[in-house]
Amino acid sequence: MEHQYHNAEDFLLDDSFLRYRMGVDKEAVQYWEGWLAAHPEKQPAFEEACRIFEVLNGRQGRLDIEVSRFRGLLQEHVEQQTAAAAKITRIRWWRVAAAAVLLLSASVAGWKLLYKAEEPGQDAVVAAAGNDVLPGRSRAQLVMGDGKAVELDEMSEQALHEKDGTRIGKKKGHVVYDAADGTDGEIIYNTLTTPRGGEYKVTLPDGSQVWMNAGSSLRFPTRFTGKERTVYLTGEAYFEVAQNAAQPFQVRMANGLKVAVLGTGFNIMAYEDENAVNTTLVTGKVKVISPDGKDVVLSPSQQAILSRENGQLKVEEANVDKVIAWKGGMFEFDDDDISAVMRQLSRWYDVEVKFSGPVPNKHYTGSIRKLSTLSQALRILKTAGIRFSIEGRQIIVEAQQ
């Protein structure tokens, strides 16, 4: 007999539902997507369970969370609530949990919110039935040396071959280059592009690994020859560079910025719609060279910021967890203004953002899993004075009096 789901607790105490929300079980994902389509009357409780999961899992927010430990936490709350039922009026435990993680700032300058429980009829997110937007996924286009374009998410796992003998293997969400022997002949360049709503990983011919965020492009040779290993980036990517002191690794951006490394882990955000190009060092050592030739050497947890407005290059301490959260399947905000938050959502969900009236002076601190649908993400961001609407592939942001 099929399990009965009457409220959010029923979903949250189901291991299959937890695996679905974590995205670690393909069969669970397929099951719950089909189940929800067959039981539309359960959508309110289902969505509330999803929202509670985001809160309780958000700050830990990594795929290695243990299902049993999470389930135990939920069961403990239910047992405590049951024991107290004889003495007090029943209060849903998730309201208490929500209150524990709710941190509001009365200041107009900003507020912090992980989750806020609201009574029916007060929802600040409006989406027409069937008009929600699914999250992004692993997809990318590879343009080979002869100009042939391959949609990697539609390609089988059979290997491709470049004319210089380079083997290009594909795994789920990951393409791997195996360079042919020899260094003679024409240098062939490939370009890997992730669309808005896509992300991908590539292992370069030297063994370096690159995780590409949505709306990004990486151009690289199928063999690294000469004195340097040079790749060209637009958008955002995280690099783990294979060490080779005799052949330094270099990343170049369209605006002339260069990042020179030996062996290290670092993140570069170079989106055209951002006010600056940010290079954040996680491990190792990098030299960041501005278009006018000025350079800075970064230590771990430092960030080089190149202003697009005036070309100035400065160094600041970085919140590394926030910077690379996207790689681990999270949005991480730390007093980010609403425009910055909406730019991230726009790229991941492949939607446009329209502000109806003045841009609200709101700041956000907290976490959202990238597996969330768009409406789920917006519900976590909601606050008094802000209304979000989803119209097709557009988010309407409206300040309310």
What's the token pair of residue 322?
A: 């926030």
Measure the CA–CA gap between 161 and 165, rounded to whole angstroms.
6
Q: Is the pLDDT of residue 260 over 80?
A: yes
Q: Is the pLDDT of residue 117 over 50?
A: no
Measure the CA–CA gap between 3 and 46, rounded to whole angstroms.
14
Three-state DSSP at 306 gives strand
Measure the CA–CA gap between 9 and 186, rounded to whole angstroms.
62
What's the token pair of residue 109?
A: 């300058």
What's the token pair of residue 113?
A: 């919110």
- Residue keyed to tokens 């008094």: 384
Rounded mean pLDDT of 338-357? 95
Measure the CA–CA gap between 247 and 224, rounded to whole angstroms.
9
Instruction: Estimate to the nearest angstrom the gap between the alpha carbon of 180 and the chain centroid.
Output: 34
What's the token pair of residue 371?
A: 């597996």
Domains 107-133+334-401 and 137-323 share a fold: no
**Which pLDDT tens digit goes with each residue over 168-194?**
998 888 999 998 776 567 889 999 999
CATH code given to domain 107-133+334-401: 3.55.50
Identity of residue 213: N
Q: Is the pLDDT of residue 108 over 50?
A: no
Taking Cα atoms as reference points, which of 364, 366, 345 lies closest to residue 354? Answer: 345
Largest Cα separation within the chain, whole Å, is 82
Beta bridge partners of 356: 398
pLDDT at 109: 28
Angle (CA) 235 239 240, round 5° = 170
User: What letter would DSSP give residue 88?
Assistant: S
158-165 long-range contacts, CB within 8 A, separation 24+: 162/188, 162/190, 162/222, 163/188, 164/188, 164/222, 164/223
Q: Is residue 152 within 8 Å of 200, Cβ to Cβ?
A: yes
Q: What separation, in Å, do the N-terminal and C-terminal C-alpha atoms of the chain show?
A: 50
**Which pLDDT tens digit goes with each residue over 9-32?**
788 878 788 878 776 577 888 888
Measure the CA–CA gap between 93 and 86, rounded to whole angstroms.
15
pLDDT at 3: 67
What's the token pair of residue 153?
A: 């998410």
CATH code given to domain 137-323: 2.60.120.1440
User: What letter would DSSP give residue 106?
Assistant: -
Name, in order, each residue with C-beta under 8 angstroms of 255's C-beta and a sequence gap of 6 or more.
270, 277, 291, 306, 308
pLDDT category, 34, cuts 50, 70, 90? confident
Rounded mean pLDDT of 75-103? 42
Find the range with the poorest average confidence among 208-212, 366-370, 384-388. Answer: 384-388
Q: Which residue has the higher pLDDT, 78 or 122?
A: 78
Q: What is the DSSP string of 197-252?
A: TEEEEEE-TTS-EEEE-TTEEEEEESS--SS-EEEEEEEEEEEEPPP-TTS-EEEE
Q: Is residue 322 within 8 Å of 61, Cβ to Cβ?
A: no
pLDDT at 1: 39
pLDDT category, 69, cuts 50, 70, 90? very low
Name, in order, each residue with C-beta under 8 angstroms of 111's C-beta and a sequence gap of 6 or more.
104, 105, 362, 363, 364, 383
Rounded mean pLDDT of 92-121? 35
To 10 degrees, the CA torsion angle through 279, 281, 212, 144?
A: 80
Q: Which residue has the higher pLDDT, 132 or 289?
A: 289
pLDDT at 74: 54
Q: Which residue has the higher pLDDT, 88 or 186?
A: 186
Measure the CA–CA gap between 169 and 183, rounded to whole angstroms.
21
Element (H, E) at 52: helix 43-58
Rounded mean pLDDT of 127-135? 70
pLDDT category, 106, cuts 50, 70, 90? very low
Show me where the domains of the chain are located: 8-101, 107-133+334-401, 137-323
Q: Is the pLDDT of residue 63 over 90?
A: no
pLDDT at 102: 33
pLDDT at 42: 85
Q: What are phi and psi of 175, to 5 degrees?
A: -115, 135
What's the token pair of residue 151?
A: 């949609």
pLDDT at 124: 53
Q: Which residue has the higher pLDDT, 257 or 122?
A: 257
Mean pLDDT of the chain: 80
Other CB atoms within 10 A of residue 320 CB: 19
pLDDT category, 326, cuts 50, 70, 90? very high
